[in-house]
Structure 1
Amino acid sequence: MIAGWAVVLHLSYLPMRVSKHGRYCCALLVVFLSMTGCSMKLPDPPKPPPRFAAAARLVPPDRMFTLSDGADLPARVWQAQGQPRGILLALHGFNDSRDAWEQPAPFFAGQGITVVAPDQRGFGEAPNRGEWAGSDRMVQDVREEIAILQQENPQIPLYLTGESMGGAILMLLMSGTDAPSVAGTLLLAPAVWNLGLGADIPLDVLATLFPHHLVTGQELPVHVVASDNPAALLRLYFDPLTLRATQLEALRGLVSLMKQAATAAPQMKGQLLCVYGDKDQLVPSKAMAKVWETLPKGTRLDLISGGHHLLLRDKNGKQVMQDMLTWITQPDSFLPSGGDVAASAWQAQNPAKTEGKWFPASWLDSLAR
């Protein structure tokens, strides 16, 4: 089965002799035919070989966030060691879960920063697993989580961080007229990409006709590297909380979220740090460069040399952690990685115009086999 997402994003790779309208129709037809026999039931987690058994562990949540509509969102918590200097509310990416933060969280906890990582609605063990709750509801969830944490810890600075989709959600939250008052927002390879007029039409049609049909990335005709850390990719693949198939409705929601986030960039409020890796194969450099140009004056930009999409899970992920920590604790200092200087040089070079290929990281099944 060919993933609908892959077809939408590869419209421009169809033969140029086919008209734009024809390309849309061809893409739509290919996806429709490929969906024959598709299941609407989420697949069970894969069973790892004995040597990878630890990668399939299910870690129970440390707490629940009970929200205004009665939903309970589970979260993992890594408590700060010693006197707490801050709290980091950490949001995962598309098809990922609270476990996305288990590699960097101990580092921050050791530096006196508590990390709270909830499952976002529709992901992990949160309600309506596999369904798209809508960006408005997801933003409201984060707003309520912020209020709960600030009520529980009125004297401790609260920071927000989000990876990929989580970063896009934070961009919507912090661009609103009623953006919450927090100590700062850290965006890690946020999912930002305006695909352009008409590019999402095939997906929109399919999601309307078959909203609950599932697509996967097992047959993608490309090789995408989300991280250079095989252990992290194995954990992502075998983690029982990871989603391995995606409803077309959820893909449509993600595409809309990316466009909304890119548009919201100029209106963001508060102290901001945005981190991007120059080896990111999921969020195109052109899309990120456009967002960097429109973020509010004073935003700190951090370009990580050799960094992939899953920045904190890369082999050099600690470099990103150090930058984040420095920005939190010494906001006027240069970043240890030199990423702020690299970002300025990168922008001056006018990043490559070629659009990249964007796929949810959890679709990279073949990398973990």
Structure 2
Amino acid sequence: MKFRYLSIALLTLSGCMPMTYPPGAQNNMAQLGANIFLTEDGASLPLRHWLPKTEPHAVIIALHGFNDYSRFFDSPGEYFSQQGIASFAYDQRGFGMAPQRGLWAGCEAYIKDLQVLVRLVKQRYPKRPVYLLGESMGGAIVITTMSQMEMPEVEGIILAAPALWARSTMPWYQTGLLWTLAHSLPWLTLTGKGVHVVASDNIDMLRAMGRDPWVIKATRVETVYGLTDLMDEAFNSAASLRGHTLMLYGEKDEIIPKEPTYAFLRQFLAADAANKTVAIYPHGYHMLLRDLQAPTAWKDIAAWINASPDKLPSGADDRAQQLLSTGL
């Protein structure tokens, strides 16, 4: 009798698997419209842009974080446009106003969309250097995409508090609970209520996000499971991430812990330190690009793009070297 009940339980669990919701057939020609990025499977992904008044000397493609959308780049995009840098950001599948809101499209889908958009932007600006900027989940997507053989060449990448909390750096009970929920109640939504973490010191901005209907407030467990798969891939890509890279992290980040971030940094710098700049901001939180000190990070990014200086204007790279020299 006990064996019968166990068998029923296992069958029930096996019938509840975390799902991904991938794109359809690629039977469309991708296009870059005024406010839409039309993908190869015909999905219309909302697109925002911030263009300088004259021809830009560089272009940024910015990827938002988990449950966020392209509006995250409004303030930095406006700043960069004043520095002669054009910026583009789009709502990724399942987020913002993109199709299948709240559903995880799968790592391959997010990688493919970025690769296609890079090609389209390079066609529009064939003589301008293109940079990828990813915040949190967006940073994990940039890292994973850059490890792909078919990735178009870009001038450099900027990682703002990338999502690197891989399973290998989580406690066993956390990974166990996530697996159990994802394989039994994948449709269950989590709101984060009762979790006391501070994402930014910019309280007005956080309140505005709370009122914004396009910021997702309740997340399906299977979507969190998909995000964790992505973080695994990004974390494991540290040693293969080469090329011109700027990574920014806040010492007060309560979303992505220091342990996985610093473990990633050790592998990341060991592979190709000469082309990599790490900036650690003592007063920075997870939303570095929207914190109260955000203009400091914007100026560092612009300086890095415009001149690749030996030292960043803020001195955050000196702080990183100080921490690195003590073994993090």
TM-score, normalising length from structure 2?
0.85
Alignment equivalent of 2:126, drawn from 133, 143, 154: 154
User: Does 1:203 find its partner at 2:181?
Assistant: no
Aligned to 1:134: 106
Cross-structure match for 2:189: 214
* Residues 132-141 or 148-157, more deviating: 148-157
SS in 2 for 1:333: coil
- Where does structure 2 lack aligned partners over 5 or more consecutive residues? 1-32
Letter in structure 2 aligned against 1:203: L
Contact 1:175–1:265 (CA<8 Å) still a contact in 2? no
User: CA offsets per residue over residues 65-89 of structure 1, 9 Å max, x none?
Assistant: 1111111111111112323111110
Give the Cα–Cα distance (whole angstroms) in 2 for the partners of residues 349 and 236 of structure 1: 37
Match for 2:93 among 114, 117, 121?
Answer: 121
Structure-2 separation of matches of 1:310 and 1:256: 22
Question: What does 1:9-48 correspond to in 2, within 5 Å?
Answer: none
| Residue in structure 2 matched with residue 279 of structure 1 by the alignment | 252
2:220 maps to 1:243: no
Q: Work out whether residues 175 and 264 of structure 1, in 8 Å CA contact, stay in contact via their aligned partners in 2.
A: yes
Tell me, yes or no, if the aligned pair for 1:179 and 1:269 is still in contact at 8 Å.
Answer: no
Verify: 1:102 aligned to 2:112, yes or no: no
Residue in 2 that maps onto 1:182 = 154
- With a CA cutoff of 8 Å and minimum separation of 6, indicate the structure with the bigger relative contact order: 1
SS at match of 2:199: coil
Determine helix, strand or coil for the equivalent of 2:289: helix
**2:58 counterpart residue number:** 86
- 1:324 alignment counterpart: 301
Equivalent residue letter for 2:262: A
Q: 1:302 aligned to 2:279?
A: yes
* Of 63, 70, 74, the match for 2:42: 70
Aligned to 2:3: none
Query: Is the contact between residue 81 and residue 111 of structure 1 (CA under 8 Å) also seen in structure 2?
Result: no
Q: CA deviation at 1:302?
A: 0.7
Q: 1:273, 1:301 within 8 Å by CA — same for their partners in 2?
A: yes
Q: Which amino acid aligns with 2:320?
A: A
3-state SS of 2:47 partner: strand
Shift of 1:332: 3.5
| TM-score, length-scaled by structure 1 | 0.76
1:335 is aligned to 312
Q: Is the alpha carbon distance of 1:126 and 1:227 closer, same or farther for their aligned partners in structure 2, counting shifts above 3 Å? A: same
- Aligned AA for 1:94? F
Question: Which runs of 5 or more residues in structure 1 are unaligned?
Answer: 1-60, 352-369
Question: Alignment partner for residue 263 of structure 2, among 290, 293, 303?
Answer: 290
How far 1:146 sits from its partner (Å)?
0.7
For 1:186 and 1:81, locate their aligned partners in 2 and report how far apart those are by CA, in whole Å.
Answer: 24
The CA distance in 1 between the partners of 2:44 and 2:62, in whole Å, is 17
Deviations 1:304-335 (A, max 9, x none): 12000000111110000011011101113310
2:294, 2:199 → 1: CA distance?
Answer: 13
Instruction: Give the whole-Å Cα distance in 1 for the aligned partners of 2:307 and 2:47.
Output: 28
Q: Which is further off, 201-210 or 252-261?
A: 201-210
Conserved? CA contact 1:277–1:303, under 8 Å: yes
Written as runs of structure 1 = structure 2, the 5 A alignment for 1:44-63 is 62-63=34-35
Q: Equivalents in 2 of 1:202, 1:227: separation in Å?
A: 27
Distance (whole Å) between structure 2 residues aligned to residue 235 and residue 103 of structure 1 = 14
- Aligned residue for 1:279, secondary structure, equals coil
Asked if structure 2 preserves the Cα contact closer than 8 Å seen for 1:302 and 1:343, the reply is yes
Give the residue type in structure 1 aligned to 2:118: I
Q: Who is 1:56 aligned against?
A: none
Residue identity (%): 37
CA contact (8 A) 1:182 1:270 kept: no
Amino acid corresponding to residue 216 of structure 1 in structure 2: T
**Aligned residues of 1:176 and 1:267 also touching (Cα < 8 A):** no
Q: Give the drift of 1:62.
A: 4.9
Give the match for residue 261 of structure 1: 234
The answer to whether the Cα contact below 8 Å between 1:277 and 1:311 also exists between their aligned partners in 2 is yes
The one-letter amino acid of 1:320's match is A
- After superposition, the Cα gap between the structure-2 partners of 1:235 and 1:80, relative to the gap in structure 1 and judged at 3 Å, is same
Report the Cα distance in structure 2 between the residues aligned to 1:340 and 1:219, rounded to whole angstroms. 35
Q: Which runs of 4+ in 1 moved over 4 A?
A: none
Q: Counterpart amino acid of 1:138?
A: Y
1:325-368 alpha-carbon deviations (Å, 9 max, x no partner): 111011133100111111010122233xxxxxxxxxxxxxxxxx
How much has 1:224 moved relative to structure 2? 1.1
How many residue pairs align between the two structures? 289
